[in-house]
Amino acid sequence: MENFYKVGTIVNTQGLQGEVRVLPSTDFANERFSKGAVLALFDDKDDYIQDLKVKSGRLQKNFYVVKFEGFYHINDVEKYKGYVVKIAQENQEELNDGEFYYHEIIGSDVYENDILIGQISEILQPGANDVWVVKRKGKRDLLLPYIPPVVLKVDVAKHRVDVDIMEGLDD
């Protein structure tokens, strides 16, 4: 089976017409949940269920309201609460230099001055730029904004990120 990457979790239904609320966990969420996008549905045991084609999708607060082709009533989708939608690796587009897919960054080791400070556990999207959450042993998580003065170098192949923690970020 090909590689798949999580793009969201179905957290609830929306209305009676077969729409679902998807909590995104992806970069490029607008593309992932736009008309015509093909996603794969996985159950709570991470077993592949079927491919889904997006009929419509719109952002509503912190989640997407998505209607998939072939689902017309709440009863058609209610059983999928808690299921995960993923994208096949073959459906990912090539990125420009300096752009990365979440799955390429999450799990990377983070270094400052060649000293390991932790590992990226998740990526947040609070506004103007992404924030990388760094898990550290014996310390609180470190929130690093993905901006040039902080993130100096990303080596996807080595799963390594070099940073310069600006004053005030590590209080």
Domains identified in the chain and CATH numbers:
4-89 (2.40.30.60), 102-163 (2.30.30.240)
Say if residue 57's pLDDT is above 60.
yes
Q: Which residues contact 15 (CB under 8 A, 6 or more apart)?
A: 74
Give the burial class of 8: count Cβ atoms within 10 A of its Cβ; 0-12 exposed, 13-18 middle, 19 or more buried.
buried
pLDDT, tens digit, 9 for 90 and up, residues 8-35:
999 999 999 999 999 998 878 888 999 9
pTM of the model: 0.74
Question: Tokens representing 83?
Answer: 């299921």
Say if residue 90's pLDDT is above 90.
no
What is the average per-residue pLDDT within 45-72?
A: 94
Contact 142, 118 (CB under 8 A): yes
From CA 58, how far away is CA 15, in angstroms rounded? 14
What is the average per-residue pLDDT within 82-106?
A: 87
What's the farthest any 2 CA atoms get from each other in the chain?
56
Percent of the chain residues past pLDDT 90, beyond the cut: 70
From CA 102, how far away is CA 125, in angstroms rounded? 11
Question: Tokens representing 53?
Answer: 């084609």
